[in-house]
Amino acid sequence: MKDLIKNEMIRYVLESKENWLEEINDRYYDEPIIKFASADDPLFEEYKKIIGSDHLTPGEAFEMAFGKDSYHGGTVISVVLPINEKIRKSNAAQTEWASKEWALLRVFGDEVFKKGFIKYIENFLNQKGHRTLAPSDAEWFKLYSTSLGPASNWSERHIAYAAGLGTFGINDGFITEKGIAIRLVSFVTDLKLSVDIREAKNHTENCLLYSKGICGACMKRCPVGAISKDGHDKIKCYKYVYGEESRRLAESYGGSAKVASGCGLCQTKVPCECKNPIS
């Protein structure tokens, strides 16, 4: 069943007409990486202390969708969507704001294709008799402000870490075997599958700065100095990424003021852009 799910996800990503950017005559996202975690992994309970008490466990998310006492175990499926090289290169050439291609990715790659992918996989598994949901697309998914910056009740990066897909960088990005220029999505299903091994020795293993004390390329790439050896200033970053100038730029590109142009400079033209630099 794992192979069936993986193959269907890969097929959808590679064949979907919505996964296509006319400006580059190529896909938004390349072939995905997919891994599986037990929905009862103790790490999910630990996230309530690490992230916050509002962060849902897979079981809680499942019961939010299917009702009280509906959860009896299952699997979390985490998916890495690597951003296409042409989009990455366009953004790597920038020094202040996101490229047009990167901004359009945020609208049509994230808001259109990714949502379509989520609905397709949910329906695919539900029709086979396995209740499935993507928490980040549920009506009760929420983003909220904290003293340290924005947070959510379902962190795709932390879910991906639990599934063994990678570790965190100094910029709070998630470094996978396909690098940091990615998008993430996950599903909770009552289908019980064998799980993948989480091999990382710690949650920052793939970051050159954390692991070897070298690099810091993402610090130099940040146009507002939101990244330092002390970590990532989420508030400063958020204000830049979603600020008025970013919104205007997005509209000028043919994108959306609501999602803004983004930035992504710290995810491109860095050693971890498209690979795990520690490998």
pLDDT tens per residue, range 128-145 = 999 999 999 999 999 988
**Which secondary structure element, helix H or strand E, spans residue 132, and what is its range?**
strand 132-133
State pLDDT tens for residues 1-40.
999 999 999 999 999 999 999 999 999 999 999 999 999 9
Instruction: Name the residue with tokens 């639990």.
Output: 162
Predicted pLDDT of residue 145: 85
Tell me which residue of 206, 223, 209 sits closest to 274, measured CA to CA.
206
Two structure tokens written together for 68: 């009280």
pLDDT at 149 over 90: no
Q: How many residues does the chain have?
A: 279
Cα–chain center distance at 271: 19
Question: CB of 155 within 8 A of CB of 37?
Answer: no
pLDDT at 74 over 90: yes
State pLDDT tens for residues 179-190.
999 999 999 999
pLDDT at 226 over 90: yes
Predicted pLDDT of residue 30: 98
Beta bridge partners of 13: none
CA 170 – CA 74 distance, rounded (Å): 32
For every residue of 170-221, DSSP letters joined together read: TTS-EEETTBSSEEEEEEEES----------SSTTTT-HHHHHS---HHHHH
Question: CB of 5 within 8 A of CB of 75?
Answer: no
Predicted pLDDT of residue 159: 98
Residue type, 260: A
User: Residue range 40-58: average pLDDT?
Assistant: 97
State pLDDT tens for residues 168-208.
999 999 999 999 999 999 999 999 999 999 999 999 999 99
State pLDDT tens for residues 258-273.
999 999 999 999 999 9
What are the domain boundaries of the chain?
A: 2-267
Predicted pLDDT of residue 279: 86
Tell me which residue of 276, 271, 216, 264 sits closest to 88, measured CA to CA.
264
Q: Across the chain, what does the average pLDDT equal? A: 97
Band of residue 83 on the pLDDT scale cut at 50, 70, 90: very high
Band of residue 221 on the pLDDT scale cut at 50, 70, 90: very high
pLDDT at 147 over 90: no
Dump strand ranges (E) for 28-126.
Answer: 33-38, 75-82
For every residue of 133-163, DSSP letters joined together read: E-GGGSTT--EEEETTEEEESS-HHHHHHHT
Predicted pLDDT of residue 124: 98
pLDDT at 148 over 90: no
- The contacts of residue 250 (CB under 8 Å, 6+ apart) are 103, 106, 107, 256, 257, 259, 260, 261, 262
- The contacts of residue 21 (CB under 8 Å, 6+ apart) are 27, 28, 84, 87, 101, 104, 105, 108, 109
